[in-house]
Chains A and B, each alone.
Chain A
Amino acid sequence: MILLLIYPSMIFSLFHNSVTLLVHAQYKRHDVVVLAPSWKQELLSSNPLDFWLHPSNPALPVDIRVPFPSLQSVKVFLESHHIEYSILLEDLQVDKSTSLMQMVNNQRRERGTGNFNYGAYHPLESIYAALDDLAAEYPSLVSKQEIGKSYEKRPMYILKFSTGGTNRPAIWLDAGIHSREWITQATALWTAQKIASEYGNNPSITSLLNRMDIFLLVVTNPDGYAFTHTNNRMWRKTRSKNSGSLCIGVDPNRNWDAGFGGPGASTNPCSESYHGPSANSEVEVKNVVNFIKSHGKIKAFLTLHSYSQLLLFPFGYKCTNPADYNELDTVGKAAASALASLYGTTYKVGTICSTIYQASGGSIDWSYDYGIKYSFAFELRDTGRYGFLLPASQIIPTAEETWLGLLKIMEHVRDNQS
């Protein structure tokens, strides 16, 4: 049995209906066992395909354009040769082939190490490859850990930024809990690179990392993220099956053990804010909770969402102020001010309930009630023009300004953590 671990990325097109399917698959750098190069010939002989990329090295990914009528037979071929693939996008217009080409070019660009385009949106596999690259580029600072698997068994990877010590107090930052909020995963990835490159250069982050660790979860909801690439760009929830319902998924930010099942969350599995059958029913949430609890010394819990340009602190499940309201409000306002200093982007600061809406089962309410005082949620750009579909040109400006806000909070944590 030949186990091929090359994952070609393939583009299927439906010419007569001007629909294109983009199929992307992960290229693994190790454990590659190469099939005889003739598999391409074999594939070609029975299907009218168009190879976009003709790599000289058979270990490199391949782009193939396949007419829709051939899709079935190509799939069968790949499966029988144990070539894994996953559908990335469907129902693209051929006349949008420019953005399609851009994305393909992006993938080609980023396959080279050190060439990752942080100013673009990437599929899950590319993000995971970038995490590996960062750990490889900054081995004394950055390491990658798996904190568990998603519902569909995708790994959940965190990056640990540490200059040593044993179980130092730490800051937690996560993104992408709602998969359609693409600016958050992109911002988190840029931030990872920023932290790594700033250590030793920026006195503030250097002193912070000399005393504390940072844990960064770039893709909190990988199943949802993959789904936004393959099926529905506007998917928000997890991809778990709901018993007794045809509707899939739970809102992972209504699933935490904080006022669970209260106002602002739905009991309907078909709803975008369905809280799930019970608190922590979603494995993605459980994995984070387990990590935080077993670490024992997390001093700040920061999470990224989009959109609305808000900096929020507890509570959401109840409309009363937290005991630390004054301090959190002060820190929040300082962070928003720092953020605005770069490009003038204004953020409102306040509790979840008064600023956005009452919502139970949210992550920062849980972390705060658990004892992590510095619990903040960012709602990143914009305020509704593009919403979830924020242009890629705004990724780096958003990440740059958000960084200033994050740093402000982290500095306060560094200087005040007990």
Chain B
Amino acid sequence: MQRRSAARLGPLLLLLLLPVAWGAGPEPPRAAGELQVSSRLAGQAARVALHYLNYRLGSPSALRALGQVRKATVKTIPGIGHKYYLQFTTEDYKSSQNVGTCLATVLYLKRKPRPAVNINCTYTKDQKQTREDDYSFYKKLRQQTKPITGNDIPDSYGHIEPALEPAWALAVAGSSYLMWEKSTENLGYFMAQVKNVKQWITKDDSIDFDYLVILHEIPTQEMISCHLRVIWTPGHPLKVKYFCLSENQQSESEEGSGTESGSTNGIFNEEEANF
């Protein structure tokens, strides 16, 4: 279990208090201005929070997908934006096994480019195992003398070549940054396909991939092509650069290095019942 510094005690205390506030008994009185959220917007906000989490954790073996939204409310903060309060379950991205619950806030700002996320999750998967999994495919990728390349992952039939799975997982992690940045209250994203991947063999100890990914944009249904550059060293923040092409929009680009504001307490390796 990760150790918390004194500076993070505040959120920890809040976490301990949360079982009281979030449904250990009858429905607590809602704070003024909180509204019930439609399942569409709730799911969208939860996904944004998970994009942020997946990006910040930067661990291809610990990627998470949305399970079920258990609670969702929204508050209007005048002049600032809309703040969503969410509780949702998560699944392991690969196996679909339930791997824990998250509490998150997602603040869609009127003036800033991307939603501000605070997310805390339990994690029922063995962290030591995921660290080892990360390290083993990191080693495999470092041992490449010939750079990995590939197209259409998954292919038209949903098939992913086993040798390309690590590259695909890293694309999901990198795309998470991109999708977090682009998401708005009304526009959500899924990574539809890796159109192209090319590995750069580096002299340092990082893993370096160049991707062309296709994002599926909801509700417009558009397929957005983005170039993505992902640089990864296990245990370090993911470095992501991207620029997207769209027929109907100008291209946009951003760079992420793990120092963006937002917070996650990482993961607590607690039993689900204790939460």
Contacts and interface: CB of A to CB of B under 8 A. Distances in A.
A359 B218 CA distance: 12
A234 B214 contact: yes
Interface string A140-172: 000000000000000000000000000000000
A338 B190 CA distance: 28
Contacts, number: 95
Nearest to B221: A272
A388 B221 contact: no
B39 interface: yes
Contact of B65 (A228, A268, A383): A383
B220 A388 contact: no
Interface in B140-173: 150-152, 154-159, 161
Contacts of A95: 150
A89 B155 CA distance: 12
B248 A270 contact: yes
A379 B239 CA distance: 35
Interface string A98-130: 110011000000000000000011000000000
A251 B193 CA distance: 21
A contact face: mostly helix, strand, loop, or mixed = loop
A126 B136 CA distance: 43
Nearest to A344: B96
Interface residues of B, number: 32
B222 A348 contact: no
Nearest to A98: B161
B72 to A, nearest CB: 13
Contacts of A91: 151
A271 B154 contact: no
A202 interface: no
Nearest to A392: B157
B155 A96 contact: yes
Given A348-B39, A350-B39, A384-B190, A96 B221 contact: no
A268 B248 CA distance: 9
B247 interface: yes
B15 interface: no
A39 interface: no
B57 interface: no
A281 to B, nearest CB: 19
A414 B96 CA distance: 37
B66 interface: yes
Given A91-B151, A271-B248, A386 B158 contact: yes
A354 B193 contact: no
Given A270-B247, A272-B222, A234 B158 contact: no
Nearest to B93: A385
Interface string A385-398: 11111111110000
B40 interface: yes
B93 A96 contact: no
B190 A387 contact: yes
B151 A271 contact: no
Nearest to A251: B221
18 contacts: A92-B152, A96-B151, A99-B157, A103-B157, A234-B223, A264-B219, A270-B247, A271-B220, A273-B220, A346-B68, A350-B39, A354-B39, A357-B218, A385-B93, A386-B158, A387-B192, A391-B158, A392-B158
Interface of B: 38-40, 47, 65-66, 68, 93, 96, 150-152, 154-159, 161, 190, 192-193, 214, 216, 218-223, 247-248
Interface of A: 89, 91-93, 95-96, 98-99, 102-103, 120-121, 182, 228-229, 233-234, 236, 251, 264, 266, 268, 270-273, 346, 348, 350, 354-357, 359, 383-394
- Considering the complex of A and B, which 10 residue pairs feature the smallest CB-CB distances, nearest first? A391-B158, A357-B219, A272-B221, A384-B190, A389-B154, A389-B158, A233-B156, A234-B223, A93-B151, A390-B158
